[in-house]
Amino acid sequence: MSSSPEPLVVVRGVSKRFTMHRDKSVKDRILYFRSRKQSRDDFWALTDVSFEVGLGETVGLIGHNGSGKSTLLKVIGGIVDPTTGSILRRGRVAALLELGAGFHPDLSGRDNVYLNAAILGMSSDQTDAVFDDIVEFSGIGEFIDSQVKFYSSGMYVRLAFAVAVHSDPDLLLVDEVLAVGDEPFQQKCMAKIRQFQREGRTIVLVSHSAEQVADVCSRTIVLDGGRVVHDGGVGEGIRVLREGYERDRIQAQEAAAAKLRPDEAVSLDAVRILDVTVAGADDRPVGSVPVERGSDLAITIHAEVRSPIDWIVGFTLESITGHMVYRLNSEGLGLDLPRAPGTYSVRFDLRDTNFGRDRLIVSAGATTLDGTTLDLLNPAATIDFREDPSGAGFMQFDTVGTVAPFAAP
């Protein structure tokens, strides 16, 4: 028998179908009276999704808009039943799925606290014991006895989150609602999530922020069109997500070009990024040997101008988890790029680099002067840096420490 603990959540072959009706008006209902099936379209928000979430894991659900993230979270929370497949859960579940979900607008904040706590399985005595903590955490103050229909969106979120995290959940489901609160409240929420992590609780988080996912999650599940396309490391998950963004960008650009006249469409294909090279001070390409702190680097973007156009080209350095470390383009340096068709190399010399990450991802892009994307190569290259032997972070310094007696003035 296995000694590993049973998973807290088991998702097996889950698919979810929604039916969209076209006969919303009286006219439509008359038109489709004899063929009601023609007035309905089936949309599969989830297709054959399977995974497990272990005790104490923090999992980030990420994907494009409409990929099925929120639907999957509702299925896990028991808010929506799957069309096929099964969901198994253990322990108390607290879900923050929609702004103000479960709040009655005509009840006061106080009444809604007790109502939501009861929905989460808490008794009145248990709610009494944590009520003051809920009010303090939410920052609602004197408005706790006002009807919640007069609350702002931020007040909704603060109160709902406060109730959820004080319900002693084994599983916390969070869907983008933290983006509504102000910065101090977001910091308070993240501190609470980290406390839950230290306590060994399980969290499933939906977020469009790659930085937030990289900061708190130990695993990512990427959805694309209702299917799981990645389940594993955070860095790799963010890379898969961004490859999907790039695919969608190219498809949208091609669709836009197809709608234009031939004399207009050429501008969308005016510049192409051919290649990006990264070299050291000796102009030799950077290989597998890590770059030392203080080294000079040259990032060269090779581009083809296919038709006359004013354009800008630049590069971005990001960590493997998607944090932007540095960005620079030709406009920022005051470089005038040629308009005439031809192949050009635009070189950026970075002097005395001191990046502290073990690997940075290089991407390169070209835009028009008004910011319209002409081409994007992501990833274009990678740079490995020697690890800082003493410190940690995005940068390294040649730091020296001293100790001396302190003499009070």
User: What pLDDT is stored for residue 25 in this prediction?
Assistant: 62
CATH number at residue 269: 2.70.50.60
What length does the chain have? 409
* 210-249 confidence digits (pLDDT tens): 777 888 888 999 999 899 999 998 888 888 888 887 777 7
Q: Which residues of the chain have pLDDT under 70?
A: 1-4, 21-40, 98-102, 177-181, 253-254, 256-268
Query: DSSP character for 287?
Result: -
* Pure H helices in 120-152: 124-138
Would residue 170 count as lying in a domain?
Answer: no
Fill in the DSSP letter of residue 82: -
Residue 165 lies in a domain: no
The number of distinct structural domains making up the chain is 1
Burial class (CB in 10 A: 0-12, 13-18, 19+), 54: middle
Burial annotation 335-363 (CB, 10 A radius, 16+ → b, else e): eebeeeeeebebebebeebebbbeebbbb
Q: What is the pLDDT of residue 274?
A: 94
What's the pLDDT score for residue 312? Answer: 94
* C-alpha atoms less than 13 angstroms from C-alpha of 304 in its C-beta half-sphere: 5
Q: Please list the alpha-helical segments (H only) found in 78-209.
A: 109-119, 124-138, 153-165, 183-198
Nearest to 186 by CA among 153, 161, 169, 205: 161
Burial string for 209-236 (b: 16+ CB within 10 Å, else e) reads ebebbbbbbebbbbbbebbbbbbeebbe
- Which residues on neighbouring strands pair with residue 161, listed in sequence order? none
Q: Please give the pLDDT value at position 223.
A: 93
Tell whether 258 is covered by a domain: no
Whether 96 maps to a domain, the answer reads no
From CA 274, how far away is CA 262, in angstroms rounded?
24
Q: What is the pLDDT of residue 324?
A: 83
Q: Does residue 306 lie within any of the structural domains?
A: yes
Q: Cβ(245)–Cβ(108) under 8 Å?
A: no
What pLDDT is stored for residue 231 in this prediction? 94
On whether residue 379 sits in a domain, the answer given is yes
Q: What range does the domain containing 362 cover?
A: 264-384
Would residue 319 count as lying in a domain?
yes
Q: What digits encode the pLDDT tens for the residues 46-77?
A: 999 999 999 989 999 998 888 899 899 989 98
Question: Taking the C-alpha atoms of 117, 121, 125 and 130 in order, what is their torsion angle to the nearest 10 degrees?
Answer: -50
pLDDT of residue 2: 41
DSSP assignment letter at 7: P
Q: Does residue 350 lie in a domain region? A: yes
Q: At what angle do helices 153-165 and 124-138 cross, to 10 degrees?
A: 130
How far apart CA 272 and CA 244 sit, in angstroms, is: 19
Rounded to two decimals, the pTM is 0.72
Rounded to whole angstroms, how far apart are CA atoms 157 and 177?
7
